[in-house]
Structure 1
């Protein structure tokens, strides 16, 4: 009788869907090819590793049930010694014990040997032959002479079922061995029943064959279950291996990223000093040349060149400062110097600083501030930088004659918000994540004459995130852009209640009881400092 593992398996390759990733498809195809190759090189139709594992489970099961088999043999021998000839029963019992001992010793030797495909194939054949010999040796004692009564036949039938069931359970991981151990006994007893030529024995013979079929099916199902368990465990081990490999790769990538981050921080710290030192000289001397402090230039064009040099130096210095600020924020080294800050005053000051630039472009800036706004607890320099970045971006990308609205007010949750809205060219919806990323620029920014480094919005968003607020950018092409910045309610400073005459701090202090001379001397005794050794 063949098992499911002995029949060739048809490997069905599912059609590749467009959503399947190429890497996953290649990995699945490689796994199917490897499994097919393993089945072709295996003697049982399974993977070679599974063949050895099945044999190992067979040997371990035989070892663990050796005492049960020994008790069954001794009990059967004792029963037939009483029922039949004692000498024949004793010889049969000694022979079965010897065969059982040989099987156990071979199981021990198999478990002690190293794994190899040739050894697995050799031990498989040896176990099948030993089980065949074990099943054949059960046949003489279970055969009942023709003409026996119904009680004897029923007893032999019961004993046969017990032997077949035990052999099936012991050899379930090796179905061929289970068949070798049970088929000789079953067919011999069935034929013996058929030779009696009575209705009762015919029924017993058919029941014997039906029992063999049932136990063969049971052995097949147990083998399939064991094989599925091994496959699941192998897949789990492979998954663990892939996870460990992915973890090792991610750890290595993290180490490289940390090393690169340290190198970047060192580079920026070194370059900030190396760049700012010559930039100070460039800015100072170009300012002197532009202002003609030591006299007018012989050629007037030199004054324009000096102004260009000074403006370029200022732009480069601002760019260096932005890069350093962003690197400190990303590295988590940016510390907020928190204090009470008036958001309305900061926005008004930034408006005053950039008003001249907006007026030169014909842009009108409207202020819509709510009155009586309390202060917030935050970093004034960071808040000012956020407002300057947002307002300068609006001025930069708003055409001449456009308008900008600055709004400061309350949020629905009790916080404060800042809104900068313009009538500029706007940003496409798919480009909003780009402009919020470091060094990201939209298509309109690239086409603009005033290109920047793409750090203004990322720095502003990072500073607001450090304050626990939210940063929202809304924009539509050819309509305008609005940036809304909110500060949480816990950063709004509530006004303290005024002090009344009933307040504890305004009540006169109770008179102190008079001090004794010892307590008065102890109060005026100087405090000794442990750090100075006095």
Structure 2
């Protein structure tokens, strides 16, 4: 009883641990999914991580914008032959340098969920300052230049600057908008004041391009935002799997220990029960046979017979439990020797004939002649055949027939088949019948109920021999059970059917 209480207590502790773990894990996964599914309103932790990634990307590509500005200023000064483009270039480089200094300062400071809003605003202000330089570029004029060519020149420069800025600042939300909103305002002002169709067209094209790049950068930002979200969710799931595996291993270990404890308990109790039970059987048989003299009351003799029959049934049950517990505990050892399957089968049929005749059941034999001996445990093999024959007699109706066959298998092994014309077993009940303590509906209704351990013991013994057990049954058509021993157990074997040739059969000695 104490073992049972301890196991139950351990199970409760395990279940409570699993419950708490599942609750914490579900909360973590739910939080991760919320972060994953939200757009701009992501968690501060992810915003801080993305902002730190933006700072690193800005430092890595710090030279791209200055080179672009130098190329724009040099080409503009060459084509316009006016120095104000160079002055603009110097101003733009100054704004960019200020932005890089801010980025370097941010890189030296740990960006946390608490200060990420402040740093985001500072970086957006730096983008707006750089955008002011592009707005000033829009206001540049060239009296000696072709107006159409100069407008196309400004449009090409602005589109290039917009593309480079969008790619460099996709990790910073609204960076493109803050960086080029002053440019749009400047273009709008020039279009309104000059009423030039080229300026109006440039304003429309650039504004459309700005809207498109804002959309693209937002999509890229969301895609980059999902990367840490996916990573976090993956880490959570990996942790969940590791904990589940750990708990599964622990539960399996506890189950194995409990099964071993159960087997040891059954083996011990079976031994303890068999000793007084043998005395009960002996004395009841003495009383039933009146060895020491006649009993005064005939009912005593009848009761003594009932005691003996009940005790025999109980002893059979204890023996089966003991056999099964020994097998499960791994202590069932085979005592192997040379055994004739035909002789053992004939002995078992002789032992079961009396019970069969009491029910007017005919047992037919169909044995192949000259079967060689097997290397097996004779006692175990006898137990297998007796169990199968007992079941056949038990479930065969009055006046029925049992067919026993023995012979070669296709693979060069030997088999024994026992078929009855009893009520059969429903297909859905076959797994139940083959399990320990399992009984089908026919067995439950039968007056000769068993323990449900016979077939599991048969399967275990055959498995110990490397053999196989098959059960075929159809309702109202009968049942056939087949015990198969492999070719490796045959002391003098024939080759398998697929290998048979028109030559002398090979002979080999079992090693």
Normalising to structure 2: TM-score of the pair?
Answer: 0.78
Distance 2:132 2:413 in 1: 91
* Deviation digits for residues 139-189 of structure 1 (CA, Å, limit 9, x no counterpart): 335642254635665554444334322321222133322322233335535
Residues 61/96 of structure 1: CA separation in 2 closer, same or farther (3 Å cut): closer
Which position in structure 2 is the counterpart of 1:460? 458
Structure 1 counterpart of 2:299, from 301, 314, 325: 301
Residues 188/468 of structure 1: CA separation in 2 closer, same or farther (3 Å cut): farther
* Deviation digits for residues 238-293 of structure 1 (CA, Å, limit 9, x no counterpart): 43233223213312211221221232133123323322332233333334434444
Contact 1:190 1:208 in 2 (8 A): no
Shift of 1:376: 2.7
Higher percent of residues as helix? 2
Structure 2 counterpart of 1:258, from 222, 242, 256: 256
* Deviation digits for residues 78-123 of structure 1 (CA, Å, limit 9, x no counterpart): 88899635677545533431232113322442xx244x4x544444
Contact 1:147 1:196 in 2 (8 A): no
Shift of 1:198: 5.7
* Deviation digits for residues 488-515 of structure 1 (CA, Å, limit 9, x no counterpart): 333333269xxxxxxxxxxxxxxxxxxx
Number of aligned residues: 464
The answer to whether 1:270 aligns with 2:260 is no
Contact 1:160 1:186 in 2 (8 A): no
Question: Does 1 or 2 have the higher relative contact order (CA < 8 Å, sep 6+)?
Answer: 2
Contact 1:187 1:209 in 2 (8 A): no
Give runs of aligned pairs for residues 325-340 of structure 1, distance below 5 A: 325-340=323-338
In terms of mean alpha carbon deviation, does 415-424 or 217-226 score higher?
217-226
Which position in structure 1 is the counterpart of 2:130? 134
In terms of mean alpha carbon deviation, does 452-461 or 483-492 score higher?
483-492
Distance 1:78 1:191 in 2: 26
Distance 1:458 1:135 in 2: 84
Contact 1:66 1:104 in 2 (8 A): no
Which position in structure 1 is the counterpart of 2:414? 416
Which position in structure 1 is the counterpart of 2:97? 97
Superposed CA RMSD in Å reads 3.6
Give runs of aligned pairs for residues 417-496 of structure 1, distance below 5 A: 417-494=415-492
Which position in structure 2 is the counterpart of 1:382? 380
Normalising to structure 1: TM-score of the pair?
Answer: 0.75
* Deviation digits for residues 30-77 of structure 1 (CA, Å, limit 9, x no counterpart): 99986896699x782445554444334323323433354565567767
Residues 445/182 of structure 1: CA separation in 2 closer, same or farther (3 Å cut): same
Residues 136/270 of structure 1: CA separation in 2 closer, same or farther (3 Å cut): farther
Contact 2:36 2:229 in 1 (8 A): no
Structure 1 unmatched ranges of 5 or more: 1-25, 497-534
* Deviation digits for residues 374-433 of structure 1 (CA, Å, limit 9, x no counterpart): 223333222222111111011111121111111112223332221111111211111111
Structure 2 counterpart of 1:393, from 373, 391, 394: 391
Give runs of aligned pairs for residues 42-441 of structure 1, distance below 5 A: 44-46=40-42, 50-69=46-65, 84=83, 90=90, 92-109=92-109, 112-114=110-112, 116=113, 118-141=114-137, 143-145=139-141, 147=143, 149=145, 156-185=154-183, 188=186, 192=190, 204-441=202-439
